[in-house]
Amino acid sequence: MASSSSYRDSLSPHDKDNYRLNKRFFQRLWRLIKPYWFRRSAWKPWLILGILLLSAGGFSIAGGYFSHLVAETTNALVNKSSFYWRLTIWMSFIGLLQSATMWYTIYIGGKLLLDWRQWLSQHLIDSYLRNRTYYEIQKDDTIDNPDERIQEEVSPFCQTVIGFPQYVVSSVVSIGVQASIIREISIPLFWSILAYAVVNTLVTLWVYSPTVRQNWDQTIANARWRTSLMHLRDNAETIAFYRGERSERQRLLKDLTTLAKTKMRIILYGLVLSLTDQISGVILKLLPLLFVVPLYFEGHVQFGTIDQAAAAAGMIVAGLSILSNYLPALTQSMPTVVRLAEIQEKFEALSDQHQPQRHTINKVLNDNVCLKSVDVYTPGGEQHLVHQLSLNVTPGEHLVIVGRTGVGKSSLLRVLAGLWQRGEGELAMPSLDQTMFIPQRPYMVMTDLRSQLLYPNQDIALDDATLRQVFITLGRPDFLDKQGGLDAIKDWRKVLSLGEQQLIAFARVLLRQPRFVFLDEATSALDLATEYHVYQCLARSKITFISVGHRKSILAFHKQKLELLPQGNWHLSQLPVPVASEQDLLEKVG
Q: How many residues does the chain have?
A: 590
Answer positive or negative: Cα dihedral of 402, 406, 407, 409. Answer: positive
433-436, long-range: CB within 8 Å, 24+ apart, which pairs? 433/514, 434/514, 434/515, 434/516, 435/514, 435/515, 435/516, 435/517, 435/518, 436/508, 436/509, 436/512, 436/514, 436/516, 436/517, 436/518
Instruction: Give the pLDDT of residue 579.
Output: 57
Q: How far apart are CA 464 and CA 469, in angstroms?
A: 9
Sign of CA dihedral 235, 238, 242, 243: positive
CA distances from 553 to 381, 442, 500, 578 (A): 34, 21, 19, 11
Distances (CA, A) of 80 to 85, 248, 254: 10, 74, 68
Q: What's the rounded Cα separation, in Å, for the pair 505 and 45? A: 45
**pLDDT-flagged residues of the chain (< 70):** 1-21, 64, 67, 71, 140-142, 284, 296, 299-308, 311-312, 314-332, 351-359, 577-590
The 10 Å CB-count burial string (b at 16+, else e) for 398-437 is: bbbbbbeeebbbebbbbbbbeebbbbbbebbbbeeeebbb
Strands lying side by side in the sheet with 384-393: 362-365, 423-429, 369-377, 384-393
CA distance 210 to 538: 64
Bridge partners (DSSP) of residue 350 are none
CB 584 within 8 A of CB 559: no
For strand 423-429 and strand 362-365, is the pairing parallel, antiparallel, or unpaired? parallel
Q: In what order do the strands lie in the sheet with 435-438?
A: 435-438, 516-520, 544-548, 399-403, 560-564, 570-574
Find residue 429's DSSP bridge partners: 365
> 213: helix, coil or strand?
helix
Domains of the chain: 24-353 (1.20.1560.10), 362-589 (3.40.50.300)
Tell me the C-alpha distance between 360 and 425, whole Å.
Answer: 8
pLDDT at 5: 38
133 within 8 A of 63, measured Cβ to Cβ = no
- Residue 228 CA to residue 253 CA, distance in Å, equals 10
pLDDT at 1: 37
Give residue 368's identity as a one-letter amino acid code: N
CB-based burial label for 566 (10 Å; 0-12, 13-18, 19+): exposed
**Predicted pLDDT of residue 419:** 82
Residue 500's pLDDT is 93
Q: Give the per-residue pLDDT at 357.
A: 54
Dist. CA 171–CA 169, nearest whole Å: 5
